Amino acid sequence: MRVHLIRHFAPDVAPGVCYGSADLAVSDQVHDHMLPFALAALPAAVPVYSSPLKRCLRLARALAPEVRIDPRLAELDFGAWELRPWSEIARAEVDAWAANVAHYRPGGGADSVAAMALRVHAFYDDLLQAPHTECVLVCHAGTIRLFAARQLGLAPSEMARHAAAHAHAIGYGGVLTLDCV
């Protein structure tokens, strides 16, 4: 199956602010500017799946009249860190996460990267059972990194370690196309 993963457009949040599961919107100006690029980069008339967060849903609904919303595509929950400037998060907390990126729950959030990998792995396996041969996923940088690790054939624990070990370069509105088996 050919899967086109697109990261949501830049959300309406100040630079340097930590966010993951916060349900941030995208401004009309950013959305209207970026949408033509997304439409040009993605196939039309294929199923579209989306994270339930507003910054993804708006783009997904612009791509297709029917969107399949799946919470397994949501970004990592940063708990008490959500919507706080990174500069205000205690260095000891950030260091604790850096020491155990796969299993630490940043900000006491709902999940770790390893837990997120489990949900992305389950989504990937379910997607391969779908009757279509091509689709679009509108999601987040973390989700895309884990999905790409799963496409390499990695188990969830390895997906988390792989994603943690490789810095991402997935820009807002960036598209990654994978052939998944």
* Higher pLDDT among residues 161 and 45, named by residue: 45
pLDDT per position as a tens digit, 48-84: 999 999 999 999 999 999 999 999 999 999 999 999 9
Q: pLDDT value at position 107? A: 96
Examine the pLDDT at 181 and tell me if it is beyond 90: no
Domain 2-179 homologous superfamily, CATH: Phosphoglycerate mutase-like (3.40.50.1240)
What pTM value is reported for the model? 0.95
| pLDDT of 129 over the 80 cut | yes
User: Residue 164 has what pLDDT?
Assistant: 80
Question: In the predicted model, is pLDDT for residue 168 greater than 80?
Answer: no
Give the span between the Cα atoms of 142 and 148, in whole angstroms.
10
171/116 Cα distance (integer angstroms)? 20
Confidence at residue 165, expressed as pLDDT on a 0 to 100 scale: 82
Percent of the chain with pLDDT over 90: 92
Domain residue extents for the chain = 2-179
Q: What is the pLDDT of residue 167?
A: 75
For residue 141, what pLDDT is reported? 95
Classify 44 as helix, strand or coil: coil
Confidence category of residue 175, pLDDT binned at 50, 70, 90: very high
Q: Which helix (H) or strand (E) holds 62?
A: helix 54-63
**The pLDDT of residue 62:** 98
Q: State how far the alpha carbon of 108 is from the alpha carbons of 29, 82, 93, 112, 114, in Å.
A: 34, 10, 10, 9, 14
Q: In what order do the strands lie in the sheet with 48-50?
A: 67-69, 48-50, 134-139, 2-7, 175-179
CA 84 to each of CA 79, 81, 95, 125: distance values in angstroms, whole numbers, following the listed order: 10, 6, 17, 34
Per-residue pLDDT at 48: 98
CB 180 within 8 A of CB 128: yes
Paired tokens of 149: 């690790």
